[in-house]
Amino acid sequence: MPWKLKLSNLKGARAEKKALRFLKQQGLRLLDTNFACKAGEIDLIMLDQATLVFVEVRSRSASRFGNAASTIDRTKRQKIRKTADFYLQSHREHSHRICRFDAISIDNYDTNGQNSLEWIKSAF
């Protein structure tokens, strides 16, 4: 059974809001946020025309260990895929759709609070 994940991490919540605003500006439509089940959690579930898009949002404040997107390792990708499978099983109205896994990488390198947002379509 799915449940809603509550973000207690303020930085993560801000990153997800920024990513959501950006994706809506690109024409995507929001279906769900923070969808969670035993398998894992998906930050944003959206429609890009007829394609169902599962979005992982990552944010990093420093670059010394790589950019935010580099933190989506094999284990995280597997959890997202399993969670997406569960979403499709519990939302049969989307079972006919082509699915895509995207990533939004937000890197904060600037002391002025400026950051870069990168949308990686078909990230994995």
| pLDDT at 69 exceeding the cut of 60 | yes
CA–CA distance, 39 with 16 (Å, rounded to integer): 20
Provide CATH code, domain 3-120: 3.40.1350.10
pLDDT at 79 over 90: yes
- The whole-model pTM stands at 0.84
Q: What is the rounded CA–CA span in Å between residue 84 and residue 62?
A: 30
Q: Taking the alpha carbons of 60, 64, 66, 67 in that order, is the dihedral positive or negative?
A: positive
What average pLDDT score do residues 29-44 get?
96
Q: What CA–CA distance (Å, rounded) separates 42 from 69?
A: 15
Average pLDDT over residues 95-102: 96
pLDDT at 109 over 80: no
4 vs 99, more confident:
99
What does the pLDDT average to over 51-75?
79
> In degrees rounded to 5, what are phi and psi of residue 2?
-75, 160
Q: Decide the pairing of beta strands 40-48 and 29-37.
A: antiparallel
**Domain extents in the chain:** 3-120
